[in-house]
């Protein structure tokens, strides 16, 4: 049996031993996966990842290939080992692996669409000095469980935007990254919810000078649920992370942000900032924002903040007094509330697409 097959077998055993997380598991407190899925659970089907045109310079490998190249075997299944990501490793029956060789800057963005119901698996490796822009979307099928591993070598740089759509069912995504020295991960997550929708990010800043900048917006109506859970690990000193998540919820929607930042012992000079804000447009909407800090080093800068509120009455009056009708004034303020979380998206065309999706979701909401 190859090393990969062994690892898959191990994942299968691990998942069947642990089962789906319940709300008693702290990380899943606000996302009741087990009851959202019901009897059928996550199933054992395989979903797919569609590559919308493979940019030149990227190397591709099929994870179903038992004779996968060494760089695949070296990384697949190494980063995340929680129950849900073990399930995707066990049941995805393959998936894709992509590598950007050392020093390559890929100019064309890589567009991926997560598709169908079941489990899928993706491995993305950027070797030293490589750079890539990743644009990820998904269809509305579910339940779907995506397990994504991203390895960034020294000085590698990845821009990642995930633009999801409102989905009727359950979609969960586990993204695990490791960053070597001076590597940079810049990501934005735009989510519009589902019966249960969750993105969990585990980011290990392993090398000196590594940095991760995360932002996201959620616009939720009806009884949509969207959970973004992040775990930033400053394993080494002089690592830097920022997070800015903005959420708008109306109807009976539920917006969740859990952000845990861990600064390891000896990781002096680590700098971490996280902000999460939610705007509730109805009495029945709910936001659960939970920033957490675990600091084991002495000389660090960590700031975190969370706020939940309604539209500011002074601002609303100001705009109305300038002639802007109330409904338009509200819409303007909601857009303005979300705007700073969009500025982190580097590409203008992608930012435009996200802004359009946000506009549509807000129009449906108000």
Binding site for other proteins (CB under 8 A): 312-315, 317-326, 328-329, 332-333, 335-340
- Give the pairing type, strands 271-280 and 240-249: parallel
The three-point CA angle 69-74-76 to 5° equals 95
Q: Closest separation between CB of residue 326 and other proteins, Å? A: 7
Instruction: Name the residue nearer to other proteins (CB basis): 223 or 339.
Output: 339
Q: Closest separation between CB of residue 333 and other proteins, Å? A: 7
Q: Closest separation between CB of residue 76 and other proteins, Å? A: 41
Q: Closest separation between CB of residue 314 and other proteins, Å? A: 5
- For 32, half-sphere exposure in the C-beta direction (CA atoms, 13 angstrom radius) is 4
The token pair that represents 69 in the structure block: 């190249």
Cβ(354)–Cβ(189) below 8 Å: no
Helix (H, G, I), strand (E, B) or coil at 252: coil
Instruction: Name the residue nearer to other proteins (CB basis): 3 or 306.
Output: 306
CA-to-CA dists, residue 81 to 46, 98, 119, 292, angstroms:
19, 21, 15, 21
Q: Closest separation between CB of residue 327 and other proteins, Å? A: 10
Instruction: Name the residue nearer to other proteins (CB basis): 205 or 329.
Output: 329
CA-to-CA dists, residue 129 to 101, 105, 109, 216, angstroms:
9, 8, 17, 26
Instruction: Name the residue nearer to other proteins (CB basis): 54 or 332.
Output: 332
The three-point CA angle 94-95-98 to 5° equals 130
Instruction: Name the residue nearer to other proteins (CB basis): 308 or 331.
Output: 331
Give the separation between CA 221 and CA 120, rounded to whole angstroms. Answer: 28
Instruction: Name the residue nearer to other proteins (CB basis): 14 or 315.
Output: 315
Q: Closest separation between CB of residue 335 and other proteins, Å? A: 7
């Amino acid at each position: 049996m190859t090393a990969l097959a062994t690892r898959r077998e191990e994942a299968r055993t691990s998942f069947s031993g642990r089962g789906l997380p319940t709300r008693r598991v702290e990380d899943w407190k606000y996302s009741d996966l087990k009851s959202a899925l019901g009897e059928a659970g996550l199933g054992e089907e395989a979903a797919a990842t569609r590559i919308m045109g493979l940019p030149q310079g990227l190397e591709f490998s099929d994870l179903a290939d038992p004779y996968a190249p060494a760089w695949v075997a070296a990384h697949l299944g190494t980063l995340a080992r929680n129950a849900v990501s073990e399930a995707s490793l066990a049941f995805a029956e393959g998936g894709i692996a992509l590598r950007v060789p050392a020093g390559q800057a890929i100019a064309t963005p890589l567009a991926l669409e997560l598709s169908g119901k079941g489990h899928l698996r993706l491995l993305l490796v950027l070797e030293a000095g490589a750079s890539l822009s990743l644009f990820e979307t998904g269809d509305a099928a579910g339940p779907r469980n995506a397990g994504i591993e991203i390895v960034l070598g020294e000085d590698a740089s990845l821009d990642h935007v995930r633009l999801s759509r409102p989905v009727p069912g359950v979609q969960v995504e586990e993204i695990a990254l490791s960053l070597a020295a001076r590597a940079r991960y810049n990501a934005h997550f735009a989510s519009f919810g589902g019966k249960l929708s969750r993105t969990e990010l585990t980011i290990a800043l392993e090398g000196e000078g590594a940095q991760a900048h995360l932002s996201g917006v959620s616009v939720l109506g009806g009884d949509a649920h969207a959970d973004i859970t992040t775990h930033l690990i400053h394993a080494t000193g002089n690592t830097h992370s920022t997070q800015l998540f903005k959420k708008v919820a109306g109807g009976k929607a539920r917006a969740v942000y859990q952000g845990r930042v861990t600064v390891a012992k000896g990781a002096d000079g680590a700098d971490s900032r996280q902000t999460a804000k939610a705007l509730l447009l109805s009495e029945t909407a709910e936001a659960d924002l939970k920033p957490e800090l675990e600091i084991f080093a002495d000389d660090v800068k960590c700031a975190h903040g969370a706020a939940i509120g309604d539209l500011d009455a002074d601002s609303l009056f100001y705009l109305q007094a300038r002639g802007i009708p109330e409904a338009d004034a509200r819409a303007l303020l909601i857009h303005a509330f979300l705007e700073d979380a969009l500025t982190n998206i580097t590409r203008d065309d992608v930012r435009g697409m996200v802004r359009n999706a946000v506009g549509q979701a807000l129009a449906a909401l108000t």
